[in-house]
Amino acid sequence: MTQLYHHGRLSGTGYLSILPVDQGIEHTAGSSFSPNPMYFDPENIVKLAIEAGCNAVASTMGGLAMLSRKYAHKIPFVVKINHNELLTYPNKYDQIMFGSVRDAWNMGAVAVGATVYFGSAESDRQIIEVATAFEEAHNLGMATILWCYSRNDAFLKDGIDYNTAADITGQANYLGVSIQADIIKQKLPTNNGGFTAVKFAKTNPDMYTKLASDHPIDLCRYQVLNCYSGRIGMINSGGESKGESDLTEAIKTAVINKRAGGAGMIMGRKAFQRPFGEGVELIYAVQEIYLAKEVSIA
């Protein structure tokens, strides 16, 4: 994992800036790359990560495999080994293996990434598969990153989406670090009280009073707390691209993550769904938050 922290503009800071582009499978290639068709070619994904001084590039088995001989020694590769494919109708919330840890190791990758949809009907199988894969990765000296998402339609209650509630995502983080994730990738929390609203799992009133408030930094801090009190780093995802507000939202997320004790940002669509140069500048702007000594833990 030290190879991740020792590469890129944030080298030596203890923070991470990773470019993740697995949306070609997760959201369909046409939907993801139509705003900027140059990224149908995976080499441009790697070039963007290098130009922006990212610590690593995270992408699909196929895209990184064909580029490994040219680039694996220039920027750390994180190979995403499972995905939710969208050609099954009706669409379902599932993650299936697209590649092996051994293949990722053979191409020179320093880490593997995987997703578990905690709360979904298939989550038990995903937990078992990912735990087994992460054990193998560690045996080979590789780091592991878990896309640690909750996904269940029942978590939408009275018009509020609790899939990003601090209590639910916090517990997902705790399960994620328990299956040997070295880094947790988590969405920024948008609310709290998912367990009490949906009326499941177990709670304690202190979760919502002593351990968190409604402040965005406190909600994010609760996510970090569930990563073994921050012993396992948590990076927040940048979310979908919405156009002109992307820069403001990305900087806001970075400030919240850093002040809450997070480990950095992993930002994809906001960067690659715009012209190459603008994508680089957006990533630079986020990295400046982690370089700024004025922005400290709250």
Angle, to 10 degrees, between the axis of helix 42-51 and the axis of helix 276-291? 40
- Contact present, 81 and 100 (Cβ < 8 Å): yes
Whether omega before 275 lies within 30 degrees of 0, making that bond cis, reads no
Q: What are phi and psi of 244, to 5 degrees?
A: -65, -25
pLDDT in tens, 103-121: 999 999 999 999 999 999 9
pLDDT of residue 27: 95
Which tokens is 276 given?
């190459």
pLDDT of residue 96: 97
Indicate the pLDDT class of residue 230, thresholds 50, 70 and 90.
very high
pLDDT of residue 104: 98
Distance of alpha carbon 130 from alpha carbon 144, whole angstroms: 10
pLDDT of residue 4: 95
Sign of CA dihedral 287, 292, 293, 298: negative
Three-state secondary-structure class, residue 278: helix
Strand-pair category, 96-97 with 82-83? antiparallel
Distance of alpha carbon 121 from alpha carbon 155, whole angstroms: 13
Arithmetic mean of pLDDT, 171-179:
98
Arithmetic mean of pLDDT, 235-258:
95
Distance of alpha carbon 25 from alpha carbon 264, whole angstroms: 24
Provide the percentage of residues in the chain whose pLDDT is more than 90.
97
Distance of alpha carbon 44 from alpha carbon 68, whole angstroms: 13
- Contact present, 38 and 47 (Cβ < 8 Å): no
Whether the predicted pLDDT of 93 surpasses 90 = no
pLDDT of residue 272: 97
Arithmetic mean of pLDDT, 175-190:
98
| Rg over CA atoms, the chain | 18
Q: Which of 47, 80, 185, 270 is catalytic?
A: 185
pLDDT of residue 200: 97
Which tokens is 240 given?
């979908």
Angle, to 10 degrees, between the axis of helix 246-259 and the axis of helix 216-225? 50
pLDDT of residue 121: 94
Strand-pair category, 156-157 with 96-97? unpaired
Instruction: Indicate the average pLDDT of the chain.
Output: 97
pLDDT of residue 1: 86
- Contact present, 81 and 102 (Cβ < 8 Å): no
Whether the predicted pLDDT of 2 surpasses 90 = no
Arithmetic mean of pLDDT, 222-244:
96
Does the annotation count 185 as an active-site position? yes
Sequential DSSP letters for 77-144: EEEE-EE--S-SSS-----EE-S-HHHHHHTT-SEEEEEEEETSTTHHHHHHHHHHHHHHHHHTT-EE
